Amino acid sequence: MAMATTAEKGFIGPVARNIAAKVSQAFACDVLEVENQSHHHAGHTGNPTGAADAETHFKLKIVSSAFEGKKLIERHRMVNELLKEELDTSVHALTMDLKPPPKH
Contact indicator for 54, 72 with CB cutoff of 8 Å: no
Report the predicted TM-score, pTM, of the whole model to 2 decimal places: 0.83
One digit per residue, the tens of pLDDT, for the chain of length 104 reads 444 566 667 677 899 999 999 999 999 999 999 998 887 766 666 666 666 677 888 999 999 999 999 999 999 999 999 999 999 998 988 999 999 999 87
Give me the residues paired with residue 32 across strands.
6, 62
For each of the domains in the chain, give its residue range(s) and CATH number, in order of start: 5-99 (3.30.300.90)
